[in-house]
Amino acid sequence: MIFNCELCKGLMGEMNIKDKIRSCVVISGKVQGVCFRIETKRVAERFKVFGWVKNNRDGTVEAVFEGKIKDVTSVIEWCKKGPPHSRVVKVDVGQDAYSGEYEGFDIRFG
């Protein structure tokens, strides 16, 4: 279906945003030095989830995921297990308003 009027396009855009979420996640346990970031990137890209992942100085891994609710949920569920050599102890998940600011998924440093 093609919508040509500006009002219809705006309404369709709002519907799409309602189907999307932003989750901020902090993963604790043995999650550094086990390829957690690169594997998170791989999984996020497979589910077409955008955002970033990084190591924190306190030994945790932090990530922001944006995308369709079911896809973001799938990536978070994967984070609860992690890659083979990790040992996830805790996953804290916060929700925020979807922003659409990311165009891909990045590994951040520093």
How does pLDDT run across 35-73, given as a tens digit for each residue? 999 999 999 999 999 999 999 999 999 999 999 999 999
Question: What is the reported pTM?
Answer: 0.84
What per-residue confidence (pLDDT) applies to 8? 46
Question: Predicted confidence band at 18 (pLDDT cuts at 50, 70, 90)?
Answer: confident
- Using alpha carbons only, give the angle 85, 91, 94 rounded to the nearest 5 degrees: 145
The whole-angstrom separation of Cα 37 and Cα 68 is 21
Instruction: Tally Cβ neighbours within 10 Å of residue 68.
Output: 16
Summarize the confidence of residues 74-93 as an average pLDDT. Answer: 98
Residues with a catalytic annotation lie at: 37, 55
Summarize the confidence of residues 79-105 as an average pLDDT. Answer: 97
